[in-house]
Structure 1
């Protein structure tokens, strides 16, 4: 099959996360038709998670190409760049405050970013309730997509933006994410100024973290008077079952965690004892580094589907930069195949370099050492 021109191609993005939606938005700005297939039943099916910092040298570049940078700045929280490093007793060890007007990496809630992108798309772009079950057809195309609702469609290009356990990835790579040995247990706090004033004060306007080398607590302010806490530790991926607990056993999980954090001070342990609602277990996976694949003219990947790494501040930013570069390649190349070549020639070396740098570093999240951006006196 001859590779079609992008403006005449049937382009299907799998996954309506920040990467997939950014790609769709930029394609539409260049007059290219695209459809996004998302397994969620609608935009409100599930909570989108905590807050993100979008960097000037990648995530914000993508939003500029999407024509959404000014709207992002209106929604973002520059004050969220504040960082507090705490002792295990909750005392301040180091404190980074953003300068007046600093916009290098302001925070935005994941849900707000997703809504911003969704609202920028042409009506009907996202097909909700379309979880991919199978990708078929020859590598040269066309491809056939089969969905959970029993429907199927033929397409010329499949863009896998469907995250860590991508259903698109097997079409180009046999790689499977591996457990890093570190797990996050998420806890939520609502109406914090009234219901959790001590936690609000402890966290500040951005994030606050304490660690002892084996475990860590990371509190992160979200908009709407909410705080999310990530209880981070080395543990078996199935630690809840091994402890004889169920995922909905909030009291049992809390008691188990408090045993592990027994030596910590009460100011920090309230991040485990006072949360609203259930805990959510989030084991951290990563793809082997480097993760590359042979060029296929009808399939490519972006974001976590392409280069899943430990959560050390690069994930969504790289996904959005991938999305921007892929969309611009499709907007300028004469054929889809040539656009994929051009995109992967830039994306794969960049992701390989970053993945190698972060390989095996999930445990850095548990380190009790001050981050390198802080000087010996605790000030940057």
Structure 2
């Protein structure tokens, strides 16, 4: 069977890798020009039951541990005056929790594990047309390239081109995220490097969060989360306009905005309706954000990788009946991700509420028999 995976993100690459381990070939069609075409973003924490499990299935757990940073689990949550509300310090050197790894490093790890030619760069999928006879799909890419496949898997993210073949579920605007980057922070801004520490920093106000995280190369990535609004995104491209939103905050916190290397980059973050399902169709399915786009509270990449592992396992178990394998995967995925999407929506609403500081302290405070929860990029 000829398998086409649309999208070379963490989910698509994990799927290709695990299929390869089972002797099943796949081609990954990726719109980017190459692995270094753009920054892959900040770091993420891989959960033992999802992201780490997928890497174990991919035979990459050892390589992951060689590049992950357990110290990145440290996080502090401050109020606008700079007072510490929560400070979680991980046990030194342990991988028992949710060790952090830069997204770029994790993607490179997956790319390096695939046979040459698996990923076809500069292949942005435009349309996929079901064949009338014999099954499969004809694929058309930006620039005029074309290809065919027997099975099409959409791993092409929030704005998936494959999703429209299965569902017309709408996307809703849930949060505005504004990003900046501070390179070589230890040398250029040692005070800010010390403020952020080796992991995550959140500064929580009313309906807004100023966050920062340390990447493996010493860069500090700054993110500002704001409630969804009708303002044009260009409003947030000017540092002075951003700083005005944080008037009255401690200057050593807002210095994170002032120190950004370039102009801020704003994005509208969207989500799919909780509980989105589709009727099974032969030879096609979705994984990751294409299947269940959630607010960005730490589950997206982990669930995408687990989707990949579970779909690959079903296809490897039942290679002569891929439609049955896909149907089994979909039913399990719908059941698994529904409560996670509900939780993600609740957490996102909590973080950008008038009582966020109190709510977050209660949420992340350790319970009598549990360790402190770890926040993810807001």
Q: TM-score, normalised by structure 1?
A: 0.91
- 2:157 matches 1:163: yes
For residue 152 of structure 2, give the secondary structure of its aligned residue in structure 1: strand
For residue 209 of structure 1, give the secondary structure of its aligned residue in structure 2: strand
2:364 is matched with 373
Q: Distance in 2 between matches of 1:25 and 1:41?
A: 20
Q: Work out whether residues 31 and 123 of structure 2, in 8 Å CA contact, stay in contact via their aligned partners in 1.
A: yes
Alignment of 1:247-286 (within 5 A): 247=237, 253-286=238-271
- 2:75 matches 1:83: yes
- 2:275 matches 1:290: yes
- Aligned to 2:178, which of 185, 203, 212? 185
Output one character per residue of 1:201-258: Cα deviation in whole Å (capped at 9) or x when no partner: 11111101011121111111111111101011124265334x4x7x5xxxxx111111
Q: Work out whether residues 296 and 344 of structure 2, in 8 Å CA contact, stay in contact via their aligned partners in 1.
A: no
For residue 176 of structure 2, give the secondary structure of its aligned residue in structure 1: strand
- 2:312 matches 1:352: no
1:250 is matched with none
- 2:106 matches 1:113: yes
For residue 282 of structure 1, give the secondary structure of its aligned residue in structure 2: strand
Looking at both structures, which has the greater relative contact order when contacts are Cα pairs under 8 Å and sequence separation is at least 6? 1
Q: Distance in 1 between matches of 2:366 and 2:297?
A: 20
- For residue 375 of structure 1, report the CA deviation from its aligned partner: 5.0
Q: Distance in 2 between matches of 1:47 and 1:27?
A: 27
Q: Distance in 2 between matches of 1:35 and 1:371?
A: 46
- For residue 83 of structure 1, report the CA deviation from its aligned partner: 1.0
1:152 is matched with 146
Q: Work out whether residues 179 and 237 of structure 1, in 8 Å CA contact, stay in contact via their aligned partners in 2.
A: no
- For residue 68 of structure 1, report the CA deviation from its aligned partner: 0.4
Alignment of 1:21-36 (within 5 A): 21-36=13-28
2:135 is matched with 141
After alignment, is 101-110 or 47-56 more displaced?
Answer: 101-110
Q: Distance in 2 between matches of 1:24 and 1:52?
A: 21
2:66 is matched with 74
Output one character per residue of 1:148-171: Cα deviation in whole Å (capped at 9) or x when no partner: 121111111110000001000001
1:176 is matched with 170
Q: For structure 2, which runs of at least 5 residues remain unmatched after alignment?
A: 373-378
Q: Distance in 2 between matches of 1:359 and 1:74?
A: 33
Q: Distance in 2 between matches of 1:116 and 1:355?
A: 28
Q: For structure 1, which runs of at least 5 residues remain unmatched after alignment?
A: 1-8, 248-252
Output one character per residue of 1:61-87: Cα deviation in whole Å (capped at 9) or x when no partner: 000010001100000000000010112
Q: CA RMSD in A?
A: 1.7
Q: Work out whether residues 89 and 267 of structure 1, in 8 Å CA contact, stay in contact via their aligned partners in 2.
A: no
- For residue 113 of structure 1, report the CA deviation from its aligned partner: 0.5
- For residue 176 of structure 1, report the CA deviation from its aligned partner: 2.4
- For residue 91 of structure 1, report the CA deviation from its aligned partner: 2.6
Q: Distance in 1 between matches of 2:303 and 2:155?
A: 12
Q: TM-score, normalised by structure 2?
A: 0.92
Q: Distance in 2 between matches of 1:220 and 1:134?
A: 38
Q: Distance in 1 between matches of 2:208 and 2:153?
A: 37
After alignment, is 311-320 or 232-241 more displaced?
Answer: 232-241
Output one character per residue of 1:318-356: Cα deviation in whole Å (capped at 9) or x when no partner: 000000000111101131101101111211111112112
Q: Distance in 2 between matches of 1:278 and 1:259?
A: 15
Q: Work out whether residues 158 and 299 of structure 1, in 8 Å CA contact, stay in contact via their aligned partners in 2.
A: yes
After alignment, is 147-156 or 77-86 more displaced?
Answer: 147-156
Q: Distance in 1 between matches of 2:275 and 2:25?
A: 32
2:375 is matched with none
Alignment of 1:197-208 (within 5 A): 197-208=190-201
After alignment, is 331-340 or 86-95 more displaced?
Answer: 86-95
Q: Distance in 2 between matches of 1:126 and 1:364?
A: 39
Alignment of 1:5-16 (within 5 A): 9-16=1-8
